[in-house]
Structure 1
Amino acid sequence: MGQASRTVSGSTICCLIDRFLLRARFFLHGEQAEAGTRQLISRLVELETTGQVLAGLASPVLDRRVKRAIDRIRSQPDWQFDLPELASHAGASERNLYYLMKRETGVTPYRFYQHCRLVRVRRRLVDCQCEVPHISHYAVDEGFSHLGRFAALYREHFGELPSETVQWRRALLDKESGTRAS
């Protein structure tokens, strides 16, 4: 393989990895992460074995409207989901924003909003300094009114129930305090 081919392959590899990393920010659960990783690996193997540059590969850049919508959802934790308002803020129609986000991130605007709320609850559970974190309190603070549905969504996203997160956090803290004592 000549020097030019290596350069093209190197930039192609970087492009593939950049695309993966962009989409990885929006994985909702382990299965999506696993599927995305397997797809990346198979494309890298294909590139290695065939040496062919994949058509239409360019560095990934999120559409500006999608960026606006994402920024709105992330920057305003107290904001209640309102697709017409979000679309207006992003500068797109509701339908266009829905399809743009689905295409660029793999998730709908509402699923991304829901994911951000779940991540905030998880952070509070992990970072909590109290003896027993109040899972239901944190869930309600983030707008989850049905606690059974919240627990199911949490498990879908993180592969464990909120109570399991609290248990491993407590075990980790107990282990750390035992290490410090000795």
Structure 2
Amino acid sequence: MTGLPQTELLSGHPVARARDVDEAHEAVTRTYLPHRLELLDRGSGFDMRLNAVRVGAVTAGYLCYGSAVRLGTADAGNYHVNIPVTGRCEQRCGSAEPVFAAPGRAAVFMPGYPADLRWGAGCAQLCLMIDRRDLELELERQLGRPLGERLRFTTTMDLDTPAARSWLDVLALLERDAGRPGGITHHPAAAAHLQNLVIAGLLLAQPNNYSDLLHAPAAPAPPRALRRAVELIEDDPGRPWTSSTLAREVSVSVRALQEGFQRWFGLPPMAYLRDVRLTRVHGELAVSDPAATTIAAVAARWGFLHAGRFSTAYRRKFGTLPSDTLHGRRPAPGPNG
């Protein structure tokens, strides 16, 4: 299982519905990259569906061919991951062994290599394209140094590992919220964080030639860098911070920053940021006019877009509900008074 809904994905973002091969070819070229498209079963009616959304450096698309087709590309400029939702697709990157992708097994493609795909009739895939420069920059931030050699992934991706399942949860969040008016993809702070989760998650979930370094213990950031990171968060908590952008600002690797926050504050940098933002929400609600203020608007302004999770986190931190703060109600006494 992929962990994604076994239905048409990203239905709120239609790009093309094509019964003509040339029309289908043009739509996929426009969304992803130039390619060759060959209809393998000319006796069946051709039917292609493409839905797609872009979140920063990540393009996510649902692509389904009703007939068996063959796709070929020259050297790709970016990284791609194809995740079957239904059906099967034989996929090859360069001279690597073919990947017989099906639900539970994805195919990964690197820039600089041709690709060949034999797409089974009725096969539907979630096709991700990640900008090469953004992915490599994130890897450099994770390592805290420039890359010594080109990033190379294993071309077969097992989607049943714990890390891959966590990564699929991020993709499911992207897919679910992309269709919601005012969802996270429409808010810069949340969209930047989501993009970072997709990119960093792929680096950690899929074996590559930097995996040993990525999973090796990291020395914590020095106190000076941690103090500066805290100052940046406190001075501008509304900025769309990610662990990567924060690490870059204080000149340490992402892993060093995370290790330092965990050691000195007992929580990751993004959890520290969340607590600061919760405090700002609390302060704003406490002085706002209930007749002119909505909790959802204040929460969204500080990057909290899921009402249930926000309310739970707020109550855990302050022992009261956001509505109580807005209306000036004191929290109910506990069982001991």
**Post-superposition offset of 1:170:** 5.4
Q: Give the one of 158, 162, 172 matched to 2:318.
A: 158
* Structure 1 stretches of 4+ moved >3 Å: 129-133
* Rounded Cα–Cα distance in structure 2 between residues aligned with 1:139 and 1:126: 13
Provide the residue aligned with 2:309 in structure 1: 149
Q: Which structure is higher in RCO with an 8 Å CA cutoff and minimum separation 6?
A: 1
* Rounded Cα–Cα distance in structure 2 between residues aligned with 1:115 and 1:63: 20
Q: Give the one of 45, 70, 74 matched to 2:230.
A: 70
* Rounded Cα–Cα distance in structure 1 between residues aligned with 2:309 and 2:290: 25
**Post-superposition offset of 1:140:** 0.9
Provide the residue aligned with 2:285 in structure 1: 125
Provide the residue aligned with 2:240 in structure 1: 80
Provide the residue aligned with 1:108 in structure 2: 268
Q: For the pair shown, which has the larger CA radius of gyration, 1 or 2?
A: 2
* Rounded Cα–Cα distance in structure 1 between residues aligned with 2:311 and 2:290: 21
**Post-superposition offset of 1:105:** 1.7
Instruction: Spell out, residue by residue over 1:10-36, the C-alpha distance to the aligned partner (whole angstroms, 9 max, x if none).
Output: xxxxxxxxxxxxxxxxxxxxxxxxxxx
**Post-superposition offset of 1:131:** 3.9
* Rounded Cα–Cα distance in structure 1 between residues aligned with 2:276 and 2:263: 19
Contact residue 290 and residue 326 of structure 2 kept, 8 A = no
TM-score w.r.t. the length of structure 2 is 0.31
Q: CA 1:170 to 1:159, structure 2 compared with 1: closer, same or farther past 3 Å? A: closer
* Rounded Cα–Cα distance in structure 1 between residues aligned with 2:300 and 2:316: 18
Q: In the alignment, residue 155 of structure 1 is paired with which amino acid?
A: R
Higher helix share goes to which structure? 1
* Rounded Cα–Cα distance in structure 1 between residues aligned with 2:297 and 2:256: 36
Alignment gaps of 5+ in structure 1 = 1-61, 172-182
* Rounded Cα–Cα distance in structure 2 between residues aligned with 1:124 and 1:145: 17
TM-score w.r.t. the length of structure 1 is 0.55
Contact residue 288 and residue 326 of structure 2 kept, 8 A = no
Instruction: Spell out, residue by residue over 1:126-168, the C-alpha distance to the aligned partner (whole angstroms, 9 max, x if none).
Output: 111454631111001111111111111111111111112224x
Q: In the alignment, residue 324 of structure 2 is paired with which amino acid?
A: E
* Rounded Cα–Cα distance in structure 2 between residues aligned with 1:170 and 1:156: 17
Q: In the alignment, residue 160 of structure 1 is paired with which amino acid?
A: T
Contact residue 261 and residue 267 of structure 2 kept, 8 A = yes
Contact residue 233 and residue 273 of structure 2 kept, 8 A = yes
Q: How many residues align?
A: 109
Q: CA 1:130 to 1:164, structure 2 compared with 1: closer, same or farther past 3 Å? A: closer
**Post-superposition offset of 1:98:** 0.7
User: Which stretch has the larger CA shift, 111-120 or 124-133?
Assistant: 124-133
Instruction: Spell out, residue by residue over 1:80-100, the C-alpha distance to the aligned partner (whole angstroms, 9 max, x if none).
Output: 121111111122111111111
Alignment of structure 1 residues 1-182 onto 2, 5 Å:
63-131=223-291, 133-167=293-327, 169=328
- The RMSD of aligned alpha carbons is 1.9
Alignment gaps of 5+ in structure 2 = 1-221, 331-337
* Rounded Cα–Cα distance in structure 1 between residues aligned with 2:318 and 2:241: 22
